[in-house]
Amino acid sequence: MDLMKDKIKPIYFELQGYLSQAPEREKGLIFEKEIWTQHNQSIDELEQVTSKKYDRYRIHPEIQNWNGVSRQSITTQAYRTILGGLISRLHGEYFPDENSPIKK
């Protein structure tokens, strides 16, 4: 288990970093494709390291009509909720003896 924890910890910290930099819930929509692409790449790496599926934590942007232009976006609420859920899941699975990184 310690070897697995050592492999997961960098991904776990990376996800915490994303959450710390995520826009507040009130900010509305996120249009930067790099945000969900990078998040989903972290899921790919996590699945490769753990041999477990974390598909429910993948981000699937929606198409929005923004001033007459179709653009992919996600809500800040959804982004923060997915990130927080995944971090909490990893905390429970691999780091239950450590303080939770999610502040209530």
Q: Per-residue pLDDT tens for 15-71? A: 999 999 988 877 788 999 999 999 999 999 999 999 999 999 999 999 988 788 999
Per the CB < 8 A criterion, the answer to whether 65 and 80 are in contact is no
Q: Per-residue pLDDT tens for 70-92? A: 999 999 999 999 999 999 999 99
Burial 34-61 (b: 16+ CB within 10 A, else e): ebbeebeebbeebeeebeeeeeebebeb
Q: Give the C-alpha separation, 9 to 55, whole Å.
A: 19
pTM of the model: 0.89
Sign of CA dihedral 78, 84, 87, 93: negative
Q: Tokens 């976006």 map to which residue? A: 73
